[in-house]
Amino acid sequence: MQSEADAPPSPDELRDDQVDGAELTARLAKTWGTDKGLVGTLSTVDHKIIGRRYIITAILFLFLGGLSAVVMRMQLAVPENRLVGPDLYNQLFTMHGTTMMFLFGVPIGEAFAVYLVPLMVGTRNIAFPRLNAYSYYVYLFGGLMIWVAFMLNIGPDVGWFAYVPLSGPEFSPGKRADFWAQMITFTEVSGIAVAISIIVTVFKLRAPGMTLDRIPLFVWAELVNSFVIIFALPAVVTASATLMMDRLVGTHFFNPAEGGDALLYQHLFWFFGHPEVYIIFLPATGWVSAIVVTFARRQAFGYIALVLSLIATGFLSFGLWVHHMFTTGLPQLGASFFTASSMLIAIPNGIQIFCWIATLWDGRPVFRAPLLFIIGFFFIFVAGGLSGIMLASVPLDTQVHDTFFVVAHFHYVLIGGNVFPLIAAVYYWFPKFTGRMMSERLGKWHFWLAFIGFNVTFFPMHITGLMGMPRRVYTYLPEMGWANLNLLSSAGAVLFFGSFVLFLYNIVSSARRGPLAGPNPWDAGTLEWAAASPPMPQNFDRIPVVTNREPLWAHRDSLPVVAGLSVENREQIVSTITHGRADLRESTPEPSIWPFMAAIATTILFVGSMFTPWALVWGSIPLAVTLMGWFWPKPSMEDER
């Protein structure tokens, strides 16, 4: 098939219709490859290498967050325990919540997008690859900063939402709350930058023929998610930046004595904070859709309904934030509105669940490890949704606000809605990432251990919560009658954490010794399975042409492809937004050390500005230098000709 690209190929440049087979593969791999050695490693702009680092880093933060949770559960196992004192306990739940939400929850969804979206839309790299590299380093440095602070006993202790006045200058002197606030800035910058790369990749780099209704559901989920990120995160940047200004330079945004407003902080935070839970959930719906379709062996039931539900969820998620503030003394009418909107969002979520069940029902499901975790997700997430509907009613919420009932609820939705699908996604895409299969036998053991461990940990918390046990207390008296259920929760936490150790063992041992996978071990239909496992640096030797939603099911023998791209230059096809028609050819950036340098300069600026506002002035100089290096114009091939 002929390329529709309009620039006339230059005669002296080798194009992919002039070479074939192994030679084409090797030459493209050279053009798109990453240099060895430290500088090469730090300069890479390959979305797969960065995506893999992103995924591994986010999962390591999941472990750190989990570890801090296990210490909390050990402390709560028996009444009047003296394992950790109140100060350390405050830091533990803050580090746990903050790590889980900002260093695991948001990044893990974007990390999978960085790796998979370019492959799934049939292109060779993510849009703005250097920005993407920069984002990863900024995220890494922000996460390291807060954990180093915790190790040095200057970690935050104000909870994952750092309410004022507790986190303000009066009640939190010292640097603890600043570390929390500045870590937010790091993750915001990187989160938004990645979201932009993903949106542009989906809009402009799709393979020819991938019209809007042929975009894989996973890609739709990541697209909607990226928009939610772009609209939600600025609210929390505003919250954390103004908090730091109140603390550092004596502004009074949140100080009622000087005309500020403490509730303003809660509004800003939750205007981000509620969409945040969808930022954690939406990518998971993408994992679920991909896995359900593959293992049901049929196209998704209700593709259009699923896409529309995703978009509806994205919109509605911005209209619910006040349900986190029911006990702040809202006007009655306001509270009723947010009760109604909170219940409303159950509708698109319900539609998605029904579409997935219908797909499985009508398909020929194959119960391998990924599908087991998806079924676990159905049970746990729906249970969390039900307690969510309960909490949306103001009288009930007023009773159980800040009790362990709420802790139970949000772990059912977060772990059910994100961690179970994530585990499924790892089992599912591991062969693509590494070229090897994970052990199915360990996977089944892992599933039952995780499913039982999870429920034994978190189900009893509903009851302790209803019995009145508040969250964020480091211990309790034996007379309260909470001891047995807490011991049960703690035992469950050990089981649950054990399931992750088994998971890690499975990952490490399968990466070394697992059976070879081949390109498409699950017989899946989307384009990432057309690439080698693990994919070559160029992803595809020739860019596929998409005629169907599951191209690999429609063209079992050979995919139609376009030819005409350069073999010696990093050229990609840029396509039109709605029809995915090839529009032009464009070269994409080469590897560069400057994004890494810029991330270091950003880190110096951000960390410095926790101590003095002058860091913003002086810190911008090295940052400007690195940006100049980054954007320094290089004579492009076109100019040279």
Binding positions for Cu ion, rule: CB under 5 A: 274
Chain residues binding ligand HEM by CB under 6 A are 66, 69, 72-73, 93-94, 96-97, 100-101, 105, 159-160, 407, 411, 414-415, 418-419, 457, 471-472, 493, 496-497
Q: Using CB distances below 5 to 8 A depending on partner kind, what does residue 326 bind out of Cu ion, ligand HEM, none?
A: none
Tell me how far apart the alpha carbons of residues 367 and 359 are, in angstroms, rounded to a whole number.
14
Rounded least distance, CB 312 to ligand HEM, Å:
23
Q: Using CB distances below 5 to 8 A depending on partner kind, what does residue 106 bind out of Cu ion, ligand HEM, none?
A: none
Tell me how far apart the alpha carbons of residues 299 and 613 are, in angstroms, rounded to a whole number.
56
Residue 436 phi/psi, 5-degree rounding, is -125, 155
Residue nearest to Cu ion (CB): 274
Tell me how far apart the alpha carbons of residues 192 and 187 are, in angstroms, rounded to a whole number.
8
Nearer to ligand HEM, 59 or 438 (CB): 59
Rounded least distance, CB 247 to Cu ion, Å:
26
For every residue of 300-317, DSSP letters joined together read PTTHHHHHHHHHHHHHHG
Q: How far apart are the first and last CA of the chain?
A: 28
Residue 272 phi/psi, 5-degree rounding, is -85, -45
Of 234, 144, 154, 165, which Cα lies nearest the Cα of 195? 234
Rounded least distance, CB 448 to Cu ion, Å:
31
Rounded least distance, CB 491 to ligand HEM, Å:
11
Distances (CA, A) of 190 to 185, 316, 479, 586: 9, 25, 48, 25
Q: Using CB distances below 5 to 8 A depending on partner kind, what does residue 415 bind out of ligand HEM, Cu ion, none?
A: ligand HEM
Nearer to ligand HEM, 384 or 537 (CB): 384
Tell me how far apart the alpha carbons of residues 447 and 411 are, in angstroms, rounded to a whole number.
17
Q: Using CB distances below 5 to 8 A depending on partner kind, what does residue 581 bind out of Cu ion, ligand HEM, none?
A: none
Question: Around 358, how many Cα atoms within 13 Å sit in the side-chain half-sphere?
Answer: 13
Q: Using CB distances below 5 to 8 A depending on partner kind, what does residue 274 bind out of Cu ion, ligand HEM, none?
A: Cu ion
Q: Which contacts qualify for 39-42: CB closer than 8 Å, 24 or more apart? A: 39/593, 40/591, 42/593, 42/596
Q: Using CB distances below 5 to 8 A depending on partner kind, what does residue 101 bind out of Cu ion, ligand HEM, none?
A: ligand HEM
Nearer to ligand HEM, 454 or 540 (CB): 454
Nearer to ligand HEM, 45 or 108 (CB): 108
Nearer to ligand HEM, 265 or 496 (CB): 496
How many C-beta atoms lie closer than 10 Å to residue 529's C-beta?
A: 23
Nearer to ligand HEM, 139 or 497 (CB): 497
Nearer to ligand HEM, 266 or 418 (CB): 418
Q: Using CB distances below 5 to 8 A depending on partner kind, what does residue 96 bind out of Cu ion, ligand HEM, none?
A: ligand HEM
Largest CA distance in the chain: 86
Nearer to ligand HEM, 280 or 531 (CB): 280
Nearer to ligand HEM, 160 or 447 (CB): 160
Kind and range of the H or E run holding 505: helix 483-513
Question: Around 305, how many Cα atoms within 13 Å sit in the side-chain half-sphere?
Answer: 15
Rounded least distance, CB 100 to ligand HEM, Å:
3
**Core vs surface per residue 484-517: b (16+ CB within 10 A) or e:** ebbbbbbbbbbbbbebbeebeebbeebeeebeeb
Is residue 464 within 8 Å of residue 488, measured between CB atoms?
A: no
Is residue 420 within 8 Å of residue 376, measured between CB atoms?
A: yes
Nearer to ligand HEM, 77 or 114 (CB): 77
Rounded least distance, CB 317 to Cu ion, Å:
8
Q: Using CB distances below 5 to 8 A depending on partner kind, what does residue 312 bind out of ligand HEM, Cu ion, none?
A: none
Rounded least distance, CB 169 to ligand HEM, Å:
20
Residue nearest to ligand HEM (CB): 97
Rounded least distance, CB 276 to Cu ion, Å:
8
Nearer to Cu ion, 306 or 406 (CB): 406
Nearer to ligand HEM, 62 or 392 (CB): 62
Distances (CA, A) of 614 to 231, 557, 620, 625: 29, 63, 10, 18
Q: Using CB distances below 5 to 8 A depending on partner kind, what does residue 411 bind out of Cu ion, ligand HEM, none?
A: ligand HEM
Q: Using CB distances below 5 to 8 A depending on partner kind, what does residue 198 bind out of ligand HEM, Cu ion, none?
A: none
Rounded least distance, CB 73 to ligand HEM, Å:
5
Q: Using CB distances below 5 to 8 A depending on partner kind, what does residue 496 bind out of ligand HEM, Cu ion, none?
A: ligand HEM
| Cβ neighbourhood burial of 41 (10 Å; 0-12, 13-18, 19+) | middle
Tell me how far apart the alpha carbons of residues 310 and 306 are, in angstroms, rounded to a whole number.
6
Per DSSP bridges, beta strands 571-575 and 582-587 are antiparallel
Q: Using CB distances below 5 to 8 A depending on partner kind, what does residue 472 bind out of Cu ion, ligand HEM, none?
A: ligand HEM
For every residue of 117-153, DSSP letters joined together read HHHHTT-SS-SSHHHHHHHHHHHHHHHHHHHHHHHTT
Nearer to Cu ion, 53 or 323 (CB): 323
Stated length of the chain: 641
Distances (CA, A) of 623 to 141, 195, 285, 594, 604: 15, 22, 38, 10, 9
Kind and range of the H or E run holding 382: helix 369-391
Nearer to ligand HEM, 100 or 243 (CB): 100
Q: Using CB distances below 5 to 8 A depending on partner kind, what does residue 497 bind out of ligand HEM, Cu ion, none?
A: ligand HEM
Is residue 604 within 8 Å of residue 616, measured between CB atoms?
A: no
Rounded least distance, CB 218 to Cu ion, Å:
24
Q: Using CB distances below 5 to 8 A depending on partner kind, what does residue 407 bind out of Cu ion, ligand HEM, none?
A: ligand HEM
Rounded least distance, CB 346 to Cu ion, Å:
12
Rounded least distance, CB 423 to Cu ion, Å:
24
How many C-beta atoms lie closer than 10 Å to residue 382's C-beta?
A: 16
Strands (E), 515-624: 571-575, 582-587
Rounded least distance, CB 64 to ligand HEM, Å:
11
Rounded least distance, CB 394 to ligand HEM, Å:
21
- Quote the tokens at residue 268: 């800003």
